[in-house]
A and B are shown apart, each in its own frame.
Chain A
Amino acid sequence: MSTQEEDKGLLWVDKYRPKTLDTLDIHPEWTEKLSSLCDQGNLPHLLFYGPSGAGKRTRIYAVLREIFASGIDKRQVQHKSLKVGDPPKEVELATITSAHHIELCPADVGYNDRLVIQEMVKEIASSKPIELGTVHRGYKVVVLHDIDAVSKQAQQALRRTMEKYTSCCRIIMTAESATRVMEPIRSRCLGIRISCPTEDEVKRVVKNIANKEGLSLPDSFVDQLVVTSEGNLRKAILWLQVSRAIGYSLDDNHKSINSTTWNMFSKCGFPWEQICYDIANTVIREQNPKQLWNIRNQLYDLFCHAIPGNVLFRKITTYLLRMVDEEVAPCICYWAAHYEHGMKQGTKEMFHLEAFLAKVMYLYYSHIHTQYSMALDDQL
């Protein structure tokens, strides 16, 4: 009974996270391959890449469990602080450790990521594992999250480390985009592409969870959930729990019960996405400095909630592309890439986003006005 008590406080995302390879719901093709990898007990370095919410971490844990059995169940969060560099600087980093593995996210320490990889990963990687319990594999596993977010130098530092200590250490990495992982690192590991779950898969998983929680889901709700989650399974499950928590009644005549929440939810997900939608809408509706000023306030609001600039760029651009004529769309793509590139190199995200939106206003304005004058010409 005690386990059930513990489960109560958990988010559904964690509660229903598959624990072993054979209970994974999606990507059956990889499940088989992964288990055959684990069978041999000896692992190459792995790089899991794919969009967020597709199940990269879940798979890593499943793989670790397959190899070390219950040895990885006792996990603890440790805040390690280490002195690095010259003059020595104190860097603090949260890690998750068990007897057989250590998990860290070098990108968290920002500028010092190279030093963390040099010092910490090498330190962990260069000592033999302690023989503990029944399972002994002769190597430890270092899990590095978001490897695509660390600097080039840090990736450089990883190259030889990966080769030198292969006898007692395996590195498993996750990345959202494989493009940003440099070629020499890619060529040292087995890449595993985890794609988004398909709509049917999302439906199946959501229905499964609802069943276990004793909820009955109307089909229209599930369909909407699939659209809103955009292939992100974590988001879908979170939304399911949120809908439950706000007392949203999940039966067939739901529309009459709580229509405002439903409206908000059905249009575009989280509140910040709603704001992005509004911004895109404003740009298309009215092009003048006053609107730009309004947008600025909305953008500041978004920045206050710590939404990263590139996410905003992506979201707003996708909304814009859905609204505009197809003649303008390629130009918008061009300028979106242009300003986002500038943003990556600069430091003030605000400037670049605003410049982009002003540009789109200008493009769209001149576009509709040429069309208008052409239409006039035709009439004459």
Chain B
Amino acid sequence: MAPSLPEDLPWVEKYRPNKIKDLVYQQEAAQLLHSCLTCGNLPHCLFYGPPGTGKTSAALAFCKELFPPEIYRDRVLELNASDERGIKVVREKIKRFAQGSVSSAKFEGYLCPPFKIIILDEADAITPDAQTALRRTMEQFSRITRFFLLCNYVTRVIDPLASRCAKFRFRPLPIELQMDRLKYIVGQEGISISEELLRRLTRACNGDLRRAIMALESAHRLSRGNNITEEDIDSVSWRVPDEIIARIDSTCRKISSLGENTLHFSELRNMAMDFINNGYPVSEIMYQLCDALISASHLNKLQKSVIMIRFARAEKMLVDGSDELLVLLDIFGVLFQVYNEPENVEKLISLTRN
């Protein structure tokens, strides 16, 4: 498999940091890895944090700096959720790799410490059984093998494993740092995009740098080299247009301003169907609507909490794979009830019960 020309690579791969010092923001982890590069010793590590914060990049960059390409394959084993990782693999493949002794060959410019590294990407997707089987392996061969566990949710890694590792939380990147990185790419690729649009893009990506870079690349390609417009940004960053949220809001306000006996649920219903037909992801509608409602001044605390309790329930249903239309209707149902009878506290509280 010959590596293709770098121009062909998606920017996400092209601009993946190759050196630890290129790593953005995650100081603690970067500091540790950097000192390991000089002293050549390393604990087992557990990196956790939301997607696109640089976990895989950090681990890979570290290994690349530690070992020269010639012996990279002998020293580093990378397993991710796309590989079979049942208990059998842990017992055989991982153990065999962990057992093997290492040569003491030295290469110019590389530290080549006398241990191997096993990177378990997406570690939260390993079955608990297999994780249990890993416990002993980690200790037994710790002299010659180090583990990197990378995961999104630290709670899904069993405690005995987590306690064997130095833990590092990878935090979502602040907007300014993302902007810097994007500006660097913009400069390298020679694109014209205004500061304002970049900001809009980063804000839509919630600290996920990969998503931001991906979105930037897509926007650039879609615009055919012309100037990137606001519309392009919205369509690539998975955001629901602000008009949608505004439309929901204005309909709800209409309900409350018209007072009793003027019921507009059918309007909300039609709106829900319209959104589904247009294919807007309900999860995004929900997150953005939630942001808008939390800061809304026309709702009091009780009303807001009633809405949020039901939002939580709806989000759970979405994650479990419920039908989107029904969940959206459910959300609109509670909005309707809250706006329609804003003063009826008894009823509001009863809404949150089954």
- With both beta carbons as reference points, the residue of chain B lying nearest to A163 in the complex is identified as B13
- Interface assignment of B246: CB less than 8 Å from any CB of chain A: no
- Interface assignment of A106: CB less than 8 Å from any CB of chain B: no
* Residues of B with C-beta under 8 A to A338: 354
Q: Are B326 and A177 interface neighbours, CB within 8 A? A: no
- With both beta carbons as reference points, the residue of chain A lying nearest to B88 in the complex is identified as A86
- Interface assignment of A3: CB less than 8 Å from any CB of chain B: no
Interface string of A119-153 (1 = CB under 8 A from B): 00010001110000000001000000000000001
- With both beta carbons as reference points, the residue of chain A lying nearest to B279 in the complex is identified as A50
* Residues of A with C-beta under 8 A to B218: 44, 190
A167: contacting residue among B4, B318, B322, B334, CB under 8 A: B4
- With both beta carbons as reference points, the residue of chain B lying nearest to A46 in the complex is identified as B218
CA distance A194 to B318 in the complex (A): 21
Q: Are A313 and B51 interface neighbours, CB within 8 A? A: no
Interface string of B130-153 (1 = CB under 8 A from A): 000000000000000000000010
Q: Are A318 and B122 interface neighbours, CB within 8 A? A: no
Known: A51-B276, A190-B236, A317-B329. A179 touches B324 (CB 8 A): yes
Known: A159-B122, A160-B121, A187-B211. A168 touches B1 (CB 8 A): yes
Interface size on B, residues (CB 8 A): 69
* Residues of B with C-beta under 8 A to A180: 318, 321
Q: Measured between C-beta atoms, what is the minimum distance from A57 to chain B in Å?
A: 14
CA distance A318 to B323 in the complex (A): 13
Q: Measured between C-beta atoms, what is the minimum distance from B105 to chain A in Å?
A: 27
CA distance A167 to B2 in the complex (A): 9
Q: Are B329 and A189 interface neighbours, CB within 8 A? A: no
* Residues of B with C-beta under 8 A to A118: 82-84
CA distance A145 to B236 in the complex (A): 21
- Interface assignment of A207: CB less than 8 Å from any CB of chain B: no
Q: Are A310 and B333 interface neighbours, CB within 8 A? A: no
Which B253-279 residues have C-beta < 8 A from chain A? 263-266, 269, 273, 276-279
- With both beta carbons as reference points, the residue of chain B lying nearest to A317 in the complex is identified as B326
A327: contacting residue among B8, B83, B263, CB under 8 A: B263
Which B83-122 residues have C-beta < 8 A from chain A? 83-84, 86, 88, 121-122
B8: contacting residue among A163, A167, A196, A336, CB under 8 A: A167
* Residues of A with C-beta under 8 A to B244: none
Known: A158-B82, A179-B318, A334-B333. A196 touches B278 (CB 8 A): yes
Q: Measured between C-beta atoms, what is the minimum distance from A37 to chain B in Å?
A: 5
Interface stretch, picked from B195-203, B280-288, B299-307, is: B280-288
CA distance A196 to B284 in the complex (A): 19
Q: Are B265 and A188 interface neighbours, CB within 8 A? A: no
Q: Are B81 and A159 interface neighbours, CB within 8 A? A: yes
Q: Are B277 and A195 interface neighbours, CB within 8 A? A: yes
Interface stretch, picked from A60-68, A74-82, A286-294, A339-347, is: A339-347
Known: A138-B8, A161-B82, A345-B320. A340 touches B281 (CB 8 A): no
Which A41-59 residues have C-beta < 8 A from chain B? 42, 44, 49-51, 54
Q: Measured between C-beta atoms, what is the minimum distance from A195 to chain B in Å?
A: 4
Q: Measured between C-beta atoms, what is the minimum distance from A310 to chain B in Å?
A: 5
Known: A166-B9, A178-B279, A333-B333. A344 touches B221 (CB 8 A): no
- With both beta carbons as reference points, the residue of chain B lying nearest to A32 in the complex is identified as B224
Q: Which of A36, A37, A126, A183 has the most CB of B within 10 A?
A: A183
Which B66-92 residues have C-beta < 8 A from chain A? 80-84, 86, 88
Known: A314-B326, A336-B329. A37 touches B222 (CB 8 A): yes
B224: contacting residue among A36, A42, A44, A190, CB under 8 A: A36
* Residues of B with C-beta under 8 A to A310: 323
* Residues of B with C-beta under 8 A to A344: 320-322
Q: Are B326 and A333 interface neighbours, CB within 8 A? A: yes
- Interface assignment of B162: CB less than 8 Å from any CB of chain A: no
* Residues of A with C-beta under 8 A to B284: 178-179
Binding site for A on B (CB under 8 A): 1-4, 8-10, 12-13, 51-52, 80-84, 86, 88, 121-122, 125, 152, 208, 210-211, 214, 217-218, 221-224, 235-236, 238, 263-266, 269, 273, 276-284, 314, 317-318, 320-327, 329-330, 332-334, 336-337, 354
Could you show 28 A-B contacts with beta carbons less than 8 Å apart? A33-B222, A37-B222, A44-B10, A44-B221, A51-B276, A159-B122, A160-B122, A167-B1, A177-B282, A177-B324, A178-B283, A178-B284, A179-B281, A179-B284, A183-B51, A186-B238, A188-B214, A196-B277, A196-B279, A313-B326, A314-B323, A314-B326, A321-B329, A329-B269, A336-B329, A337-B326, A340-B326, A344-B321
Other contacts beyond A44-B217, A50-B279: 5, CB < 8 A: A156-B122, A310-B323, A313-B323, A327-B263, A330-B337
